[in-house]
Amino acid sequence: MKTKEVTPHTLEIVQGGSITSPKGYKAGGLHCGIRKKKLDFGWFVSEVPASAAGVYTTNSFQAAPLKVTQESVAKENKLQAVVCNSGIANACTGEQGLQDAYDMRKLFAEVLGVEEHLAAVASTGLIGELLPMEKIHGAMAEINDEKHGGSEKFESAILTTDTKEKGIAIQLKIDGKTVTIGGAAKGSGMINPNMATMLSFITTDANIPSEHLSQALKDITNQSFNMITVDGDTSTNDMVLVLANGLAENEALSPEHKEWDQFYQGLRYVCEHLAKEIARDGEGATKLVEVTVEGATTDQSAQKIAKSIISSNLVKTAIHGADANWGRIITAIGYSGEPINPDKVSIYLGEIKVVEEGVPHPFNEEQAKDYLLQENVAIHAQLGDGNGKGIAWGCDLSYEYVRINASYRT
C-alpha cells in the first residue's frame, strides 16, 4: 500500500517500508545478551556487493568499529553487509577493542560468505567497556537462522534509550525503473551536529557509483543529520552508511543524469525523515521542534543561528513549559556568533508573530500557549539581512531527560 506525497518531485512513501524494501536486501536481529532483555544484535545484507558511502563522527575519540568500517569502505568503496550491536559502544577500549571490532567483522563476513572488506561493523551504548566476545560469537552462529529475520528486528536491535523503532522507505522512478530507498536509525542521547550517538543505515537498489553517492550523502547530511540536536553532545560512535546495490537497473546515476535531482531529493527525504524522528524521540522529549531561520547573509549563517536556537537549554525548557518566552530565542540568536542586525529581526511561533523588527509584537498569551502545547512546534526567525535559509530540528528539555541521564549507567 502506497500513498502519494506532494513534493516538488514525485515520490511515494512505502507504507511499513524499511531497509529491506529496496530489491535484494535482507535484515535481522536477535538478543545475544549484552542488554538484559531487549534485542541487541542486528544485521543486514545485500545479495550483491553495493556501492557504499559513509559519514563518521568528528569526535577525536572515534570508536573502534568506526575505524574498522572506514577501512572496509576505503578498500573499494563497496559494502555488502552491516552488523551492529547495542548496549556497549566499544569506544575508549584501546588495542583490545580494536581487535574485537576486527574479529566481529571477520566472523560476520565468514558466516555470510562475503569478503571481509565488504562487511561493516557498528556499536552503540556504554563507553569504556569491552564487547563480550563470547556473546558476539554466539550471535554470529544464529545469523542464518530464518527465525531471526526481519527488518523490524534490525530496527529494534540497534536502539539504546530510544522509545521506538525508526524506519522508512520511499520509491521514485528513474529511467522508467522503480528505485527504492530505505532507512533505519537510532538516536536518543548525545545527539548533535556532525553526527551524534546516532546510527543511520540507508539502503537502495539504485545504480549509482560510490563517488556520486558519497557526495550526495555528505551534502544531505549537512542539511539533515547535522541539523538536529538533543543535548549538544557529539558521540564517539556516530555514523551514516548508505549502500546502493544497483538491482533497480537504472542507468548509472550522476549529477549529469536528467533524473539526478529526483534521486537526490529522495535520498534527502529519507535522511530528513530519520533525522526528525531522532529529534522527536530525543531523551525525555515530548515535542519535535523545528527552527527555520530566513533572511540571513548566507545559508551557513542561517544554519548556525538555527542550531544556536534549538541548542539553547533555556529555549528548550520554555517550550517544555509551553511558555512563549521569545526573549530566550532572541538571546540565542544574539550569541550565535553570526552577524545580525538586531533591529530587523522578527520572530514567529507557528503563525503567531511575537517580535517585529527587534521589539515585542503584541500577541495573545493563551493562543501562544495552546500552540506550544502541541506535539510539533515551529519557531521561525526572519533576520531581514539576505537570502540565507537554514532549518534545524530538536526537542524540548524535560524532567525526564534529567532522570534518564542522572542514572543511565548505574
Active site residues: 197
Count Cα atoms within 13 angstroms, Cβ side, for 294: 7
In the complex, minimum distance from the CB of residue 258 to a second copy, in angstroms, rounded to a whole number: 41
Q: Quick check: 33 binds a second copy (CB under 8 A)?
A: no
Q: Quick check: 317 binds a second copy (CB under 8 A)?
A: yes
Q: Quick check: 333 binds a second copy (CB under 8 A)?
A: yes
Question: In 219-368, where do the E strands start and end?
Answer: 239-244, 288-296, 346-349, 352-356, 359-360
Nearest to 382 by CA among 302, 294, 297: 294
| Amino acid in the structure at residue 176 | G
Neighbours of 216 (CB within 10 A): 21
Would you say 410 is a known binding-site residue?
Answer: yes
Nearest to 194 by CA among 318, 311, 284: 311
Nearer to a second copy, 185 or 383 (CB): 383
In the complex, minimum distance from the CB of residue 32 to a second copy, in angstroms, rounded to a whole number: 22
Q: Quick check: 231 binds a second copy (CB under 8 A)?
A: yes
Candidate segments 102-110, 163-171, 296-304, 315-323, binder of a second copy by CB under 8 A:
315-323
Would you say 186 is a known binding-site residue?
Answer: yes
Those residues whose C-beta lies under 8 Å from the C-beta of residue 321, and which sit 6 or more positions away, are none
Would you say 221 is a known binding-site residue?
Answer: no
Number of residues that bind a second copy (CB under 8 A): 64
Nearer to a second copy, 33 or 334 (CB): 334
Exposure string of 36-72, with b = 16+ CB inside 10 Å and e = fewer, is eeebbbbbbbbeebbbbbbbbbebeebbbbbebbeeb
Q: Quick check: 302 binds a second copy (CB under 8 A)?
A: no
Residues 238-297 that bind a second copy (CB under 8 A): none
Candidate segments 39-47, 68-76, 143-151, 184-192, binder of a second copy by CB under 8 A:
184-192
Q: Let me know: does 381 contact 345? Beta carbons within 8 Å.
A: yes
Q: Quick check: 331 binds a second copy (CB under 8 A)?
A: yes
DSSP state letter for 165: -
Would you say 405 is a known binding-site residue?
Answer: yes
CA dist., res. 208 & res. 125, Å (int): 33
Q: Quick check: 313 binds a second copy (CB under 8 A)?
A: yes
Nearer to a second copy, 51 or 346 (CB): 346
Candidate segments 12-20, 98-106, 163-171, 320-328, binder of a second copy by CB under 8 A:
320-328
Residue reference for cell 521589539: 359
Binding-site annotation: residue ranges for substrate:
160, 186, 197, 283, 405, 410
